[in-house]
Amino acid sequence: MGKHNTPMLDELEKGPWPSFVSDIKQQVANGKHILKEAPDDLLGVMELSYVDKVTHWKHGGIVGVFGYGGGIIGRYCDQPQMFPGVAHFHTVRVNQPSSKFYTAKYLRELCDLWERHGSGLTNMHGSTGDIVFLGTTTDHLEPLFFEMTHELNQDLGGSGSNLRTPECCLGQSRCEFACYDTQEACDNLTHEYQDELHRPAFPYKFKFKFDGCPNGCVASIARSDMSFIGTWRDNIRIDQAAVKAYVGGEFAPNAGAYSGRDWGKFDILKEVVDLCPTNCMRWDGSKLEINDKECVRCMHCLNVMPRALRKGLDTGTSILFGAKAPILEGAQMSTLTVPFLKMESPFSEAKDLVEKVWDWWMEEGKNRERLGELIQRKSFQEFLRVCELDPDPRMVDEPRSNPYIFWKEEEVEGGWTRDIDAFRAKHQR
Amino acid sequence: MPYDPSAPLKDRITDIGPRHYGEFLPPVIKKNKGKWLYHEILQPGVLVHVAESGDKVFSVRVGGCRLMSVEHLREICDIADKYCDGYLRFTTRNNIEFLLADESKLKPLVDDLKSRKFSGGSNKFPVGGTGAGVTNIVHTQGWAHCHTPAIDASGVVKAVMDAIYDEFDHMKLPAPVRVSLACCLNMCGAVHCSDIAILGIHRKPPMVDGEWIDKLCELPLAIAACPTGAIKPAKTADGKKSLEVKAERCMFCGNCYTMCAAMPLADELGSGIAILVGGKLSNRISKPKFSKVVIPFIPNEPPRWPSTVEAVKNIIDVYSKDAHKYERLGDWAERIGWERFFEKTNIPFTHHLIDDYRFAYTTWRQSTQFKF
């Protein structure tokens, strides 16, 4: 039995889905966390919010570790007398390894570290991908950081107007669709830009995300200022015998992903050829043909028949810029800017582009203006000039419908300087 | 040598970044990286990936609460040690994946995972979250840890997942349904491209704490933070510098509160949930798209948010019955037309659902093509 009576939270112990309330209670009962009262008082303050229907957390103050301007988020309870165990309850963001593979040994070291210096509660993982240590006091921050760096060889993640912790899908480690090594790209750029990750120098946050293919499992097109999405520019590899095996019912379509309902016999025409967004496929009953030149690599046919169709061999990434959530001007998705780039270590071309974009954004961006908003304010044309890229019809869904073109003087024959007297000599007033 | 508080900068190590992923890859993954041929979902939550070498790796996916204790994490480690030589990973959507090369351990692992319960009776490790079903709901902090939320996060997720659990461990929907929750418009959960988004919103303009605002905030920053220009300088009755909010211009984004702690806006009656549907991230068949607001407000109903749960369940049920195979929720709504979506789901269409912000015109109908 904990400190607080929590009848409302207790209702969340019922039902089949794992209960975070039961989990916190097991930490209360058995945990060795140094902040003895923290999990118990967290239940208490949450129960109070369930009664009041508003939060009881205050704005964070400036807390952190020496030399860093990010990685720790200050958090204070607005009822510290009632809940002293969470009066100060700061968050620590710990930079996860690429695609979140762990050994049990390493996870236990993290658990031990966190019990020595905090509440014993975590988020696995935070929205941007970090391992999140949830709740500690200011006096634990430096010892925690010292032990983390010295004993675990592990650094903090990003917060504030910094590069945020980059994130990737699992990529080539366990996926046949991955068009480049997302793990290596993510790890390499994270290490390259440690200064930007730890010390705020930007107008606002900046996120990299690395998706291995256009299925987009790590949501880069919606959630990152710079989205790397794997693609290929040669032909889909077809194993005709395997296509026939799908048609004949020998292989389960969609790798079995739709097997919970009887959708009838697999119909390659209806389920693949007719759903192709560019109608670039043909099936004559024995052979599947793809007009690869017209393919937009939507992934549908590969997803349906992974044993028969494989991505091309000339693989790389598309780069898109400017996604963000609604605050302030409205939600944006990333815009295609580099249709194709080879993506191999040490990723020099990608880094050149990153640095051009950052220089411009740091020069021109207003306080709390995301890159996507700056591009809208200054124009996509201006952004292309910054990136030193030529315009390409692939960058737009359609050409502009208004003719309000901002012509440059050097584009217009004879320039803009004219003589009104010479004009009047021909045209009376 | 332990940390010495009298010399905090002595032997300091900084900027070392994350650990290298290579340290944590199971041998079968390390050996076959970049050489995977295909995968199969053997049963909900259980995948096999087959490499060019013929090697196989089995993955068992279980739902996790993003808010997780180290006690629970240690239990996960014990399971990984017992069946998986100590290897595991987490997915982008807060699932846990146990990875093993030895097929003989697969069934014992799944059986073991399914047998473990929390003291209150809920499953510790629900196996599922693959294919054409609902996988784990990604979410934000809510009342557990955030200063700007309109709603709780973990509790709403728990209540909704309990109600649609059957879709987590089956694969019987027309396509994957990705449900996401963000507890305010800041959307650190970035739910704006989800099949179903549960979003915390406020409906009362910020209060101004006139006694304190000039001490706590940079007033010009708070004024500049407002995207609709609703905030202007003012003086309190006793002459202190303060701010005033033109309430009819406020669209309750809370950006001023982010900049200034003396302008709180959360409220017992004012704050609650909006439901958005039809977004997607994948480029599969159709392009990625934003989620659209279909229910402008549902009150906060702790502890189990019955109206929100019912709304999500209703949308999934109607979609499940009506959509074609491979149609994501947004593709289905576009095919039948949004007028039909509201008719079939029995959701009232109100003036709140017509856009009147920045890009509003792009969502109005400039055509006589509509359905009666």
Show the tokens assigned to B207. Answer: 């209060």
Query: Which whole number is the average pLDDT over A48-59?
Result: 97
B158 vs A contacts (CB less than 8 Å): 12, 15, 17-21
What pLDDT is attached to residue B186?
A: 85
Whether residue A175 and residue B36 make contact (CB cut-off 8 A), yes or no, is yes
In sequence order, the β-bridge partners of residue B272 are: B201, B299
Give the one of B20, B141, B284 whose C-beta lies nearest to A298's C-beta: B284
- Distance separating alpha carbons of residues B136 and B130, to the nearest angstrom: 10
Would you call A14 and B120 a contact, using CB atoms and an 8 Å cutoff? yes
Q: If pLDDT is split at 50, 70 and 90, which confidence band does B359 have?
A: confident
Using a CB-CB cut-off of 8 Å, the residues of chain A touching B72 are: 23, 26-27
Rounded average pLDDT over A306-318:
98
- B39 to chain A, closest Cα gap in Å: 6
Q: What is the pTM of this model?
A: 0.97
Between A and B, how many residue pairs show a Cβ–Cβ distance under 8 A? 433
| Mean pLDDT within A153-170 | 97
Residues A122, B73 contacting (CB under 8 angstroms): yes
Residue in B closest to A214 by C-alpha = B283
**Helix orientation angle between A104-117 and B70-84, rounded to the nearest 10 degrees:** 160
Q: Which residues pair with B134 in a beta bridge?
A: B177
Residue A104 and residue B77: Cβ atoms within 8 Å? yes
The partner residue sitting opposite B190, judged by closest CB among A52, A115, A223, is A223
Residues in Cβ contact with A381 at an 8 Å cutoff, skipping those fewer than 6 apart: A391, A406
Q: Which of A6, A8, A9, A20 to mutate to test the interface with B (most CBs of B within 10 A)?
A: A20
Nearest CA-CA distance, residue B52 and chain A, Å = 10
Instruction: Retrieve residue B202's tokens.
Output: 């406020």
Neighbours of B164 (CB within 10 A): 20
CA distances from B176 to B122, B172, B277, B291, B310 (A): 24, 9, 13, 15, 20
Find all residues with CB under 8 Å of B356, minimum gap 6, and list them.
none
What confidence tens digit (pLDDT) does each residue in A293-311 have?
999 999 999 999 999 999 9
Over residues B112-127, the pLDDT tens digits come to 999 999 999 999 999 9
Q: Do B86 and A50 touch (CB under 8 A)?
A: no
What are the backbone angles phi and psi of residue A177, rounded to the nearest 5°? -90, -15
Do A305 and A314 touch, CB atoms closer than 8 A? no
Residue B23, min C-alpha distance to chain A (Å): 8
Mutate to test the interface with B, among A5, A13, A19 (most CBs of B within 10 A): A19
Instruction: Please tell me the predicted confidence (pLDDT) of residue A1.
Output: 60
B92 neighbourhood in chain A, CB within 8 Å: 129, 167, 169, 217-219
Q: Which residue of A6, A10, A11, A12 is the best one to mutate when testing the B interface, meaning the one whose CB has the most B CBs within 10 A?
A: A12
Does residue B197 contact residue B205 with C-beta atoms inside 8 Å? no
Q: Which residues of A touch B20 (CB under 8 A)?
A: 97, 187
**Contact (CB<8Å) B74/A108:** yes
pLDDT (tens digit, 9 = 90+) per residue, B229-259?
A: 999 999 999 999 999 999 999 999 999 999 9
Which residues lie below 8 Å from residue B317, measured CB to CB, with a gap of 6+?
Answer: none
Which of B149, B157, B222 lies closest to B188 in space, CA to CA?
A: B149
Asked if the Cβ–Cβ distance from A216 to B326 is below 8 Å, we say no
A124, A243, A332: which to substitute to probe chain B, counting the most B Cβ within 10 Å? A124
Least CB–CB distance from B118: residue in A18, A126, A198: A18
Q: Would the pLDDT of B269 be above 90?
A: yes
Mean pLDDT of A416-421: 97
Is A330's CB within 8 Å of B77's CB?
no
- Residue B320, pLDDT > 70, answer yes
Residue in A31, A101, A221 closest to B70 by CB: A31
Measured in angstroms, the CA of A417 and the nearest CA of chain B are apart by: 37
The answer to whether B190 touches A326, Cβ cutoff 8 Å, is no
Name the residue with higher pLDDT: A263 or A61.
A263
Determine contact, residues A321/A334, Cβ cutoff 8 Å: yes
Q: How far apart are the first and last CA of chain A?
A: 94
Condensed to tens digits (0 to 9), the pLDDT of residues A363-393 reads: 999 999 999 999 999 999 999 999 999 999 9
Tens of pLDDT along B5-15?
999 899 999 99
Amino acid (one-letter) located at B285: I
Asked if the Cβ–Cβ distance from A15 to B165 is below 8 Å, we say yes
Report the 3 state secondary structure along chain A: CCCCCCHHHHHHHCCCCCCHHHHHHHHHHHCCCCCCCHHHHHHHHHHHHHHHCCCCEECCCCCCCCCCCCCEECCEECCCCCCHHHCECCEEEECCCHHHEEEHHHHHHHHHHHHHHCCCEEEECCCCCCEEEECCCHHHHHHHHHHHHHHCCCCECCCCCCECCCEECCHHHCCCCCCCCHHHHHHHHHHHCHHHHHCCCCCCCECEEEECCCCCCCCHHHHCCEEEEEEECCCCEECHHHHHHHHCCCCCHHHHCCCCCCCCCCCHHHHCHHHCCCCCEEECCCCEEECHHHCCCCCHHHHHCCCCEECCCCEEEEEEECCECCCCCCCECCEEEEEEECCCCCCHHHHHHHHHHHHHHHHHCCCCCCHHHHHHHHCHHHHHHHHCCCCCHHHCCCCCCCCCCCCCHHHCCCCCCCCHHHHHHHCCC
Cα B101 from Cα B50, distance rounded (Å):
11
Structural tokens at position A290: 């793809």
Q: Is the distance from CB of A221 to CB of A229 less than 8 angstroms?
A: yes
Q: Is the pLDDT of residue B1 over 80?
A: no
Most A CBs within 10 Å, among B20, B21, B77, to test the A interface: B21
Least confident range from A95-109, A218-232, B179-193: namely: B179-193
Task: Kindly indicate the confidence band of residue B187, based on its pLDDT and cuts at 50, 70 and 90.
Answer: confident
Q: How confident is the model at residue A23 (pLDDT cuts 50, 70, 90)?
A: very high
Cα A344–Cα A346–Cα A348 angle in degrees, nearest 5: 95
Nearest to B141 by CA among B66, B45, B233, B219: B66
* Chain A positions in Cβ-Cβ contact with residue B91 (cut-off 8 Å): 100, 170
Mean pLDDT of A170-180: 98
Note whether B14 contacts A149, CB cutoff 8 Å. yes
pLDDT band at A118 (very low <50, low <70, confident <90, very high): very high
State residue A217's pLDDT score: 96
CA B348 to chain A, closest CA, distance in angstroms equals 24
**Residue A60 contacts by C-beta under 8 Å, 6 or more apart in sequence?**
A73, A74, A75, A76, A90, B147
pLDDT level of residue A330 (50, 70, 90 thresholds):
confident
Query: Which pair of structure tokens corresponds to residue B218?
Result: 């940079």
pLDDT on residue B312? 98
Confidence category of residue A326, pLDDT binned at 50, 70, 90 = confident
Collect all residues of chain B within an 8 Å Cβ-Cβ radius of residue A25. Answer: 119
Q: How close, in Å, is residue A416 to chain B by CA atoms?
A: 34
Q: Give pLDDT tens digits for B272-309.
A: 999 999 999 999 999 999 999 999 999 999 999 999 99
Encode chain B in three state secondary structure: CCCCCCCCCCCCCCCCCCCCHHHHCCHHHHHHCCCEEEEEEEECCEEEEEECCCCEEEEEEEECCCEEEHHHHHHHHHHHHHHHCCEEEECCCCEEEEEECCHHHHHHHHHHHHHCECCCCCECCCECCCCCCECCCECCCHHHCCCCCCCCCHHHHHHHHHHCHHHHCCCCCCCCECEEEECCCCCCCCCCCCCEEEEEECCCCCCCCCCCHHHHCCHHHHHHHCCCCCEEEEECCCCCEEEEECHHHCCCCCHHHHHCCCCCCCCCCCCEEEEEECCECCCCCCCCECCEEEEEEEECCCCCCHHHHHHHHHHHHHHHHHCCCCCCHHHHHHHHCHHHHHHHHCCCCCHHHCCCCCCHHHHCCCCCCCCC
**Mind listing the pLDDT tens digit for each residue in B33-91?**
999 999 999 999 999 999 999 999 999 999 999 999 999 999 999 999 999 999 999 99
Taking CA–CA distances from B325, the nearest residue in chain A reads A263
Rg of chain A taking only CA atoms, in angstroms:
27
What percent of chain B shows pLDDT beyond 90? 95
Query: Residue A176: which of B26, B38, B162 has the nearest Cβ?
Result: B38
- What value does the mean pLDDT of chain B take? 96
Mean pLDDT over the full length of chain A: 97
**Angstrom distance (rounded) from CA A98 to CA A102:** 10
